[in-house]
């Protein structure tokens, strides 16, 4: 059929057959290239300086559009990484590229640990891309500064110069693209006024400070902004850097917990569900991730029994903090609306007791009691920190802090 159609329309029925790559990863390399300012005469490949950044893993996608990106990749071994870096440098030098750019590949996920990691060139983007902050975060540089220096004819800034095959890096960074779209309805675009809209706290640390994690926000909206159907639906990029991948995942998840967006539907909860998914944590992130783990689409965050109990206790604590004069020692908290699950919560000074109230007395969990330690989260010993204008409360149960959005 393809040959016949090509023959009819183009008088040429030749076909290009491409290898089918099963379960690929989308991996790309950021580059910053320029011709040596001291070079003279006709440009030669060796005249071009190519700085290659650590790779970015960009495989969490919907409709072939990236949603979560991280650097470096968990998949690549060092042998494959260096082979790819060599190819990246050769490409940039051969075409005499100058400025920032990205070389993109598909990498086969090996079926066995000892199988080779085959990679295939996809395309080159001759611009600065949305996910460039993760590369900046782990390398401690400013790509825009590098582009401006090259454009001005000054060559590479000192911090980009290295005698190593790849720019040195430290730690791990992950970025979530926050879109005004409804993942519960097939990612349909969503429009409206952002009210309320509160971004997570930004930790203002120097870009060269690799010792502690920090959250970076790149956004173009503010409270009251009207999201229209005429422009790209991206609201922001939320980036978290940490000394290792585990901390980067946890830091970004906590930042998204504190990201208050109302007035439009958005994908922050989907991003959080991916971050906390066991397969993502394990690094199993091919481009088919969303289709594999959410085959019927995203249905919202599914809490475990323990998480439901902890949420019920958190709700009771926040309510007591908001209205101490009317608070009772024992309350019933209902999750999920009028017909949702009900929990009986008894708050003590430093512990809480929670019991699931079932409608069926024969259910095994009926009457099962759980005790949870309540920890101080403020200097004055309060177990709740609540900032009404930020719509976020913080509680700590059994030694772990949680951020709860409150309306």
CA angle 352, 354, 359 (to 5 degrees): 165
Return the closest-CA partner of residue 313 out of 258, 366, 374, 358: 374
Return the closest-CA partner of residue 334 out of 349, 319, 348: 319
| Tokens read off for 386 | 């609540």
C-alpha 36: how far from its chain's center? 36
Other beta carbons within 10 angstroms of residue 116's beta carbon come to 11
**Buried (b) or exposed (e) across 74-97, using 16+ Cβ within 10 A?**
ebbeeebbeebbeebbebbbeeeb
* 159-191 per-position pLDDT tens digit: 999 999 999 999 999 999 999 999 999 999 999
Ranges of residues in the chain with a pLDDT under 50 are 204-208, 361-362, 364-365
| Tokens read off for 364 | 């095994």
Question: Roughly how many angstroms between the first and final C-alpha of the chain, as a whole number?
Answer: 57
Cα separation of 48 and 83, whole Å?
A: 19
Which residues are CB-neighbours of 239 under 8 A, at least 6 positions away? 133, 134, 137, 173, 174, 175, 176, 215, 216, 217, 218, 252
* Residue 95 host element (H or E): helix 78-95
Cis peptide before 121 (omega within 30 of 0): no
* Residue 29 host element (H or E): strand 24-35
Tell me the HSE value of 43 on the side-chain side, using a 13 A CA sphere.
14
Rounded to 5 degrees, φ, ψ at 351 are -140, 160
Tell me the HSE value of 369 on the side-chain side, using a 13 A CA sphere.
6
Q: Residue 359: its pLDDT value, please?
A: 65
CA angle 74, 165, 206 (to 5 degrees): 70
Count, in order, helices (H) and strands (E) of the chain. 9, 22
Q: Residue 117: its pLDDT value, please?
A: 93
Q: Which residues are catalytic?
A: 123
Residue 374 DSSP symbol: B
Cα separation of 56 and 50, whole Å?
A: 17
Cα separation of 345 and 77, whole Å?
A: 50
Q: Residue 212: its pLDDT value, please?
A: 78
Other beta carbons within 10 angstroms of residue 149's beta carbon come to 17
Cα separation of 277 and 273, whole Å?
A: 6
Q: Where are the domains of the chain?
A: 24-293, 305-405
Return the closest-CA partner of residue 230 out of 176, 177, 178, 180: 180
Q: Which residue has the tokens 């290295």?
A: 162
* Structural fold of domain 24-293: D-amino Acid Aminotransferase; Chain A, domain 1 (3.30.470)
186: left (phi over 0), alpha (psi -120 to 50) or beta: left
Beta partners for 373? Answer: 351
| Tokens read off for 21 | 């790559």
Inter-residue contact 244 to 179 (CB < 8 Å): no
């Amino acid at each position: 059929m393809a040959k016949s159609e090509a023959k009819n329309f183009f008088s040429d029925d030749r076909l290009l057959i491409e290898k089918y790559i099963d379960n690929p990863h989308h991996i790309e390399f950021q580059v910053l290239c320029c011709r040596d300012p001291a070079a003279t005469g006709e440009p030669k490949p060796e005249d071009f300086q190519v700085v290659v950044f650590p790779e970015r893993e960009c495989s969490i996608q919907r409709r072939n559009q990236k949603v979560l990106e991280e650097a470096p990749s968990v998949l690549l071994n060092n042998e494959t990484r260096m082979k790819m870096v060599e190819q990246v440098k050769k490409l940039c030098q051969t075409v005499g590229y100058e400025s920032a750019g990205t070389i993109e590949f598909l990498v086969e996920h090996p079926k066995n640990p000892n199988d080779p990691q085959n990679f295939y060139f996809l395309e080159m983007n001759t611009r600065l891309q949305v996910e460039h902050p993760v590369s900046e975060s782990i390398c401690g540089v400013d790509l825009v500064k590098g582009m401006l220096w090259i454009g001005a004819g000054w060559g590479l800034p000192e911090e980009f110069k290295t005698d190593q095959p790849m720019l040195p890096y430290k730690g791990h960074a992950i970025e979530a693209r926050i879109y005004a779209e409804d993942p519960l309805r097939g990612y349909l675009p969503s429009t409206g006024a952002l009210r309320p809209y509160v971004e997570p706290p930004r930790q203002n640390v120097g870009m060269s400070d690799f010792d502690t994690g920090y959250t970076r926000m790149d956004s173009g909206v503010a409270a009251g902004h009207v999201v229209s159907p005429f422009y790209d639906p991206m609201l922001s990029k939320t980036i978290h850097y940490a000394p290792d991948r585990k901390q980067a995942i946890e830091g970004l998840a906590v930042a998204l917990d504190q990201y208050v967006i109302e007035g439009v539907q958005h994908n922050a909860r989907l991003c959080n569900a991916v971050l906390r998914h066991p397969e993502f944590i394990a690094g199993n992130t091919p481009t088919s991730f969303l289709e594999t783990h959410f085959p019927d689409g995203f249905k919202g965050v599914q809490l475990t029994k323990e998480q439901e109990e902890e949420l019920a206790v958190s709700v009771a604590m926040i309510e007591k903090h908001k209205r101490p004069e009317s608070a009772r020692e024992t309350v019933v908290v209902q999750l999920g609306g009028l017909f949702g699950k009900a929990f009986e919560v008894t708050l003590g000074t430093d512990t809480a007791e929670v019991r699931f109230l079932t409608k069926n007395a024969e259910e095994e969990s009926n009457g099962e009691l759980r005790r949870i330690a309540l920890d101080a989260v403020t200097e004055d010993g309060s177990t709740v920190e609540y900032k009404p204008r930020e719509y976020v409360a913080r509680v700590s149960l059994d030694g772990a802090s949680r951020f709860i959005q409150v309306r």
